[in-house]
Amino acid sequence: MELSQPAKKPIKRRKTNRIRAWVQLFFFVLIALISINHTLAEDGKGIAFLSSASLHALCPFGGVVSLYQFITTGTLVQKVHQSSLILMIIGIVLAIFAGPVFCGWVCPLGTFQEWIAKIGKKIFKKRYNHFVPAKVDNVLRYFRYGVLIWVVFMTAKSMTLIFANVDPYFALFNFWSSEVAIGGLIVLGLTIIASLFVERPWCKYACPYGAFQGIFNLFRVSSLRRNVDTCIDCKACDKACPMNIEVSSKTIVRDHQCISCMECTSSAHCPVPRTVDFVIGGKK
């Protein structure tokens, strides 16, 4: 009875959830306003206090795919702005210290998928996020690294922003614009449909920037630690993880798919205080 009591009276439960939700909403609205303003600015009707930059200038992945060309020629891929390189550096520094916080806290497409997931959870309830067999899921999770290699190689070879033709992030915030390729709209549509069955399907299986950020999980400064002594094996951390990582089976989590959302921590879902926490350091 004493072991199960914390589950009934959790301390500071969902504090992290609320903070993260507001941060996600802020960046989603910000990117949406900037995208709309970019369209208005082209007709001379832009909002003065908002940036008129395109989304290509605000995407850190643009810096990643431009890196080869920048090193070899000193120029950037067409449509990519220097701000993308700055954002790429910021993203790398954050990932080294805290993991892919961009994916879990900032990325508007990730946020959008989580909102669609709420509908899927209401429709399918416990079946949600369990449609893909575990063996298939484990293989599909590495597909995004293939996408990353393909995009970087093709961009370096063609010196054009080839990924823009299938980018669901760009399509989401420019679906009304003629700049969006049909391929991007198709991928966005498939992502929306898949989000009704699988949580964050684009992030799990196809996102090249998520793959790039995920590499830093293997050696980042902070780590996700589960206190085996206080864990009551309720598996609340597993259920809360949007990336389906089995936190309850690990002591230190350094999974390449972790997005540092902190949904599994004691300040968010775990009912026992300081049982699942981010700590500095930690060994596997």
Q: Which residues of the chain fall short of a pLDDT of 50?
A: 1-13, 284
Give per-residue pLDDT as tens, 255-276.
999 999 999 998 888 899 889 9
Q: Give the global pTM.
A: 0.87
Domain ranges of the chain: 16-216, 222-280
Q: Residue 195: which residues within 8 A CB-CB, separation 6 or more?
A: 113, 116, 117, 120, 201
User: Cα-atom radius of gyration of the chain, to the nearest Å?
Assistant: 20
Give per-residue pLDDT as tens, 7-33.
444 444 466 788 999 999 999 999 999
Q: What is the pLDDT of residue 177?
A: 83
User: Can you tell me the distance from the alpha carbon of 226 to that of 253, in angstroms, rounded to the nearest whole number?
Assistant: 8
